[in-house]
Amino acid sequence: MSNVRSIPDILLKIVETKKSEIKEIRREKPFFTRKIKDIHPALDFKNALSGEGLSVIAEIKKASPSAGIISTHFRPLEIALAYRKGGADAVSVLTDETYFKGSIGLITLVRNTLKNIPILRKDFIIDDSQIYEARAYGADSFLLIAGILSLQQLEDFISLGRELGMEPLVEVHNETELFNAIQAKSDIIGVNNRNLRTFELNTSLSKKLISKIPACVTAVSESGIRSSKDTAYLHSLGFNAVLVGETLMRSGKDNCGKIITEFKKSIST
């Protein structure tokens, strides 16, 4: 496992890498806009998380800066099939190449396998070209990290997403970021229990922030979710959904679907 304490601000490092990557992505923007016209409309990500029980966003993730390689034998199609059979309400796909060993092509790869399950592009979005890219490759939603964006950027990116038929998940880590997410009129807000600057986990953060999320907003708890006890507790606090990655990926393709089913059954509707 990586020693996250050796890096004072991992998030800053990732953003600097993104700044260099988007130069190429911007050049492809005309291609993305043309491609968007020819693909199917985005699936309704928010609606997928609006069931009576607790919705599960299952994540496809090969690696992370905090855990290193999570899935040695990475078979995304088999994982996607297991997630679908297990009853995942949506699937998050890590597309960052440098730090999470993902790729934007993974979205296209798993699209047919997931059928009518919405796909969230999970990356570090700092430019509108990345949003066009997400839709062009078949994503139905995308992650916005409030901690790396200004209020104006949040508003602009949310607006662009909606123009393209995508409702983004806005991720927060403290009250200031939550305030900005609410000000930007986010419809889906995720509380990440992992500090992206140090990658340390604080599972009490969800409890701290849930009361400040408006009832009309879909609330998602992310990171550190390992058991049915966790999911039942988060649902009792008022969360509509959980985003689970490492727990599912480490369980393997033969067990991850069963865990999703157990998480959903832990909630009495």
β-pair type (55-60, 90-94): parallel
Query: What is the pLDDT, as a whole number, of residue 9?
Result: 82
Residues 234-242 have a mean pLDDT of 95
Residue 223 appears among annotated catalytic residues: yes
Contact 246, 268 (CB under 8 A): no
Residue 122 appears among annotated catalytic residues: yes
Report pLDDT digits (tens) over 32-76: 999 999 999 999 999 999 988 999 999 999 988 878 888 778 899
Band the pLDDT of 268: cuts 50, 70, 90. low
DSSP string computed for 153-200: HHHHHHHHHHHTT--PEEEESSHHHHHHHHHTT-SEEEEESB-TTT--
Q: Please state, rounded to an integer, the average pLDDT across all residues of the chain.
A: 92
Structure-token match 């430019």, residue found: 127
Report pLDDT digits (tens) over 130-157: 999 999 999 999 999 999 999 999 999 9
**Given 222, 240, 246, 264, the catalytic residue:** 222
Residue 59 appears among annotated catalytic residues: yes
pTM of the model: 0.93
**Given 64, 186, 206, 223, the catalytic residue:** 223
Q: Which architecture characterizes domain 8-265 according to CATH? A: Alpha-Beta Barrel (3.20)
Residue 6 appears among annotated catalytic residues: no
Contact 121, 134 (CB under 8 A): yes
Report pLDDT digits (tens) over 110-129: 999 999 999 999 999 999 99
Residue 97 appears among annotated catalytic residues: no
Band the pLDDT of 2: cuts 50, 70, 90. very low
**Given 18, 21, 46, 61, the catalytic residue:** 61
Domain ranges of the chain: 8-265
Residues 74-95 have a mean pLDDT of 96
